[in-house]
Structures are given as structure tokens and as C-alpha cells.
């Protein structure tokens, strides 16, 4: 086998950086945002519930935010471990190519067989987002129900 050329080395370096960024980035963007929304929603709902005698929608809000929080934690763990596994496989394949144990076409075939996105993670993220929406609707119902009762009592 011949030595790798500049384009092959540049490709490996670029993909290496991209895969590593995927490992790091998996724990950032959407996970942080959804975690903050779910955690804040749960805390806000509990605070609101403790200040009220009874309000419809509190159970729905708590369920929605709690489910959303659980789903986003599962998403984060799943995404991280998938990215770490595929980075490790890429690193092994790059090492085998550079050690001339496999040729360029085999290296590229293995790289192309690895996914760039994960359907199960997408479903978990959407599930978390929709659960947060359910939590928001439940909280809105509780607030509107309480405000309607307060308004009726004042008249």
C-alpha cells in the first residue's frame, strides 16, 4: 500500500475534528435548552402548586415537565454514547489506514457506513419538547382556572 496523500490526510483530520466536535456538542445546544425549560417548568409548577389550595392542570403540568426532563436526560446520554462510540470506531479505522492495514476505499466505506444523525435521539428530543408543551398547557390551565375562580369570588 502507498502512503496517504495530502487530500486523504486532510480528509481524516477534518472528519476527526468533526466527529470529536460531535462528541462534545452532543451535550450542549438542545440538551441545555430543553433541560432548562423542563427543570424551570417543574420548579415553577411546584412553586405555583404550593401557593394554591387546588388548581386544575397542576398534575398535567408536573407530569409533562417531569416526563420531558427524563426524556432529555435519556437523549443526552444516548447521544453522547453514540457519538463517543462512532468517534472511537473512526479513530480505530484512521489508525488502521495510517498503519496500512486497510486501504483508502475500505476506510471510506467504513466511514460512510456510520450514521451522522440518530433517529432515536431525534424522537427523544421531540418527545421532551412535546412533554414540555404539555407541561406549559397544564400550567396555563391551572393559572387560568385559579384566576377565573379568584375573579368570580371578588365580584
Q: Can you tell me the distance from the alpha carbon of 105 to that of 22, in angstroms, rounded to the nearest whole number? A: 24
pTM of this prediction? 0.72
Cell of 17: 475534528
**Other C-beta atoms lying within 10 Å of the C-beta of residue 112:** 9
Q: Which tens digits make up the pLDDT trace of 101-153?
A: 999 999 999 999 999 789 999 999 999 999 999 998 988 888 887 666 655 55
Q: Can you tell me the distance from the alpha carbon of 95 to that of 64, in angstroms, rounded to the nearest whole number? A: 46
Q: Which tens digits make up the pLDDT trace of 65-111?
A: 899 989 988 988 898 899 889 989 999 999 999 999 999 999 999 99
Q: Can you tell me the distance from the alpha carbon of 127 to that of 102, in angstroms, rounded to the nearest whole number? A: 41
What residue has cell string 453514540? 82
Please say whether the beta carbons of 137 and 56 come within 8 A. Answer: no
Q: Can you tell me the distance from the alpha carbon of 155 to that of 150, in angstroms, rounded to the nearest whole number? A: 9
Q: Which residue has the higher pLDDT, 27 or 105?
A: 105
Query: What's the distance, CA 123 to chain centroid?
Result: 9
What residue has cell string 470529536? 20
Amino acid at each position: 500500500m502507498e502512503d496517504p496523500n495530502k487530500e486523504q490526510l486532510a480528509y481524516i483530520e477534518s472528519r476527526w475534528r468533526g466527529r470529536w466536535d460531535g462528541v462534545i456538542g452532543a451535550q450542549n445546544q438542545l440538551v441545555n435548552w430543553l433541560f432548562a425549560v423542563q427543570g424551570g417548568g417543574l420548579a415553577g409548577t411546584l412553586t405555583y402548586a404550593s401557593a394554591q389550595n387546588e388548581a386544575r392542570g397542576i398534575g398535567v403540568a408536573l407530569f409533562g415537565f417531569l416526563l420531558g426532563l427524563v426524556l432529555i436526560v435519556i437523549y443526552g446520554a444516548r447521544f453522547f454514547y453514540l457519538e463517543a462510540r462512532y468517534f472511537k470506531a473512526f479513530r480505530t479505522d484512521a489508525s488502521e489506514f495510517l498503519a496500512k492495514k486497510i486501504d483508502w476505499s475500505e476506510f471510506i466505506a467504513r466511514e460512510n457506513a456510520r450514521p451522522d444523525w440518530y433517529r432515536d435521539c431525534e424522537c427523544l428530543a421531540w418527545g421532551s419538547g412535546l412533554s414540555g408543551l404539555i407541561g406549559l398547557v397544564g400550567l396555563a390551565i391551572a393559572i387560568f382556572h385559579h384566576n377565573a375562580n379568584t375573579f368570580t369570588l371578588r365580584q
